[in-house]
Amino acid sequence: MKFVDEFRDADLAAMLGREITALCEPGRHYKIMEVCGGHTHTIYRYGVQDHLPEDIELVHGPGCPVCVIPMGRVDDGIAIAERDGVILTCFGDMMRVPGGRGSFLDANARGADIRMVYSPLDALRIARQNPDKQVVFYAIGFETTAPSTALTVLRAAAEGIENFSVFCSHVTIIPAIKAILDSPDLRLDAFLGPGHVSTVIGCRPYEWISRDFKMPLVCAGFEPLDLLQSVYMIMKQFSEGRAEVENQYGRVVQYDGNPVALKVLADVFTLRPFFEWRGLGSIAHSALQLSPKYAKYDAELRYDLPGVRVADPKACQCGEVLKGVLKPWECKVFGTACTPETPIGTCMVSSEGACAAYYNFGQYAKQRLSLEVLQ
């Protein structure tokens, strides 16, 4: 296949693995966090870790947008959907995220009208087709997805569509990385930066990490060789005593991002003072809400919502998994009470969640076997 096989070449992967191994300092253990859930998915789907020496440990980060949605906001979505004359629309993975009153799928079974869409523009189309209904888009995602929502709001405004609004849970990646670096639980050596988020925001917003924390960060693509090359670039920095922001994903990421997308984001959204992240707690200036200019499209203003904070199930350790403190298989309910079919925690819902990635691609069995042997 054109332009894909080149990034999955096994011989090149093996060669890169050898070069990475050669760059390891004897006796040193390296912890590299992949921030993005898409990277976690690639790592386990293609066995990227198998090409790395044992001295390099990949730690999963908080970059799965489904995984960081707190249960209370799921309940808010259900409260909107249960109103007469409302169609709630959302991305596919949101359908199974458990809230305090069940998931969106459960709400549908009770009679709500919640529809899965591929794009917020599809939600706007549903609004055009159903002028007698209120159509709400349940917006989640990082800076990769937020421009799509912003563009949809701009189109709704331009067309004068009144029966459309957005329940906005878009989050931003930089404050989450800062929260992780401020956490006393975790020692990291470097980051694999989120490639598609960086397409929008560029590489410059990460420079404080290398400057203040003396840690390398490489913005990485999503194919197996992208990730291996990015690890190679990080190890090269270590071997040369450098700590810099570098861009491996140059085929789509510009160092200053996409200025048009950033301008649209600035027009449509403003930062929330605080936002609760599942597992990470409340983080300042880490999420978006519609700006006053577009307030009439804000579902949180249009509807009276419960807005209740719901505690995670006690057995669930998604918080520690999201911070990279625990491996998924170290959670007490992983693979037993919590599976992709019956998820307790959000990390088991999305295929980009660390727990689901472990579960679906066989690492679970391997790690659990090792644990049993040790015991």
Partner 1 sequence: MSSLDLTGGEVGATCSAEPGCITCGDVAVVLSVETVEGSDARCRDEQGREELVATELVGPVQPGDRVLVHAGVAIERVDVAENLERRSPQMGE
Among 12, 305, 310, 325, binds partner 1 (CB under 8 A): 12
Among 17, 61, 62, 65, binds partner 1 (CB under 8 A): 65
φ and ψ of 74, to 5 deg: -65, -45
| Min CB(312)–partner 1 separation in Å | 19
Count of residues that bind partner 1 according to CB under 8 A: 94
For the CA atoms of the chain, what is the radius of gyration?
A: 21
Cβ nearer to partner 1, comparing 4 with 374: 4
Q: Assess 215 for contact with partner 1 (CB under 8 A).
A: no
DSSP alpha helix (H) spans, the chain: 10-23, 37-45, 71-81, 104-109, 120-129, 146-159, 173-182, 195-201, 207-213, 224-239, 259-268, 299-302, 318-322, 354-360, 363-374
Cβ nearer to partner 1, comparing 118 with 372: 118
Rounded Cα gap, residues 145 and 138, in angstroms: 12
Rounded Cα gap, residues 110 and 240, in angstroms: 60
The token duo for 62 is 């908080």
Q: Is 100 exposed, middle or buried (0-12, 13-18, 19+ CB in 10 A)?
A: middle
Q: Assess 269 for contact with partner 1 (CB under 8 A).
A: yes
Q: What stretch of H or E contains 274?
A: strand 274-277
User: Interaction with partner 1 in 88-107: which residues (CB under 8 A)?
Assistant: 91-96, 105
User: Interaction with partner 1 in 110-169: which residues (CB under 8 A)?
Assistant: 116, 118-122, 140-145, 147-148, 151, 155
Among 20, 30, 38, 276, binds partner 1 (CB under 8 A): 38
Do strands 134-141 and 114-116 pair parallel, antiparallel, or not at all (unpaired)?
unpaired
Among 56, 58, 197, 322, binds partner 1 (CB under 8 A): 197
| Min CB(214)–partner 1 separation in Å | 15
Q: Assess 350 for contact with partner 1 (CB under 8 A).
A: yes
The SS3 assignment for 322 reads helix
Q: Assess 223 for contact with partner 1 (CB under 8 A).
A: no
Residue 176 is which amino acid? A
The SS3 assignment for 15 reads helix
Cβ nearer to partner 1, comparing 94 with 331: 94
Cβ nearer to partner 1, comparing 110 with 251: 251
| Min CB(139)–partner 1 separation in Å | 10
Nearest to 123 by CA among 100, 150, 94, 89: 89
| Min CB(169)–partner 1 separation in Å | 12
Q: Assess 319 for contact with partner 1 (CB under 8 A).
A: no
Among 134, 163, 169, 229, binds partner 1 (CB under 8 A): 229
